[in-house]
Homo-oligomer: A and B are copies of this chain.
Amino acid sequence: MADIDSWPTGRLLSVAARLVEGRFYEFLASHGLTHAGLITLHHLAEGPLAQRRLAVLCRVTDQTMSRTIERLRRAGYVDKQVDGQDRRRVLVTITPAGSQVLALAYEAERESEHLMGAVDDYEQFRQQLVKLIKTV
């Protein structure tokens, strides 16, 4: 269907995202992990963070982050504890198991990137995406 050429850009982005992420499904499922959880672990690698801060970094609402963290906690990949300084806050920390699965994921991700040979100028393509996200 050549019809796809006339799709609005938002639709193109959405479908492309699903297809690319689908490539990763097997790895994630085999480690009891999800895509959202992986991003969260990535941001926690540098050190503990409050949930709200995590939500901002992941470009997600507080509510969505709350659920994602709860799942990671049940999987044993993060710990939660109330902040002593500000007891409204919950500090989230990555566990050794979390660091371990994160390292594995980095490797798998790098491999799957090579499947994107379809794009002519890969780096420029990425930069356009980054620019788009930053300006919106």
Contacts and interface: CB of A to CB of B under 8 A. Distances in A.
Given A4-B134, A10-B24, A15-B59, A128 B125 contact: yes
A126 interface: yes
Contacts of A119: 128, 131-132
Number of copies: 2
Interface in A79-136: 109, 112-113, 115-116, 118-121, 125-126, 128-136
Nearest to A22: B136
Interface residues of A, number: 45
Contact of A132 (B8, B39, B116, B132): B116
8 contacts: A4-B133, A9-B126, A13-B129, A15-B133, A16-B133, A116-B132, A118-B132, A119-B128
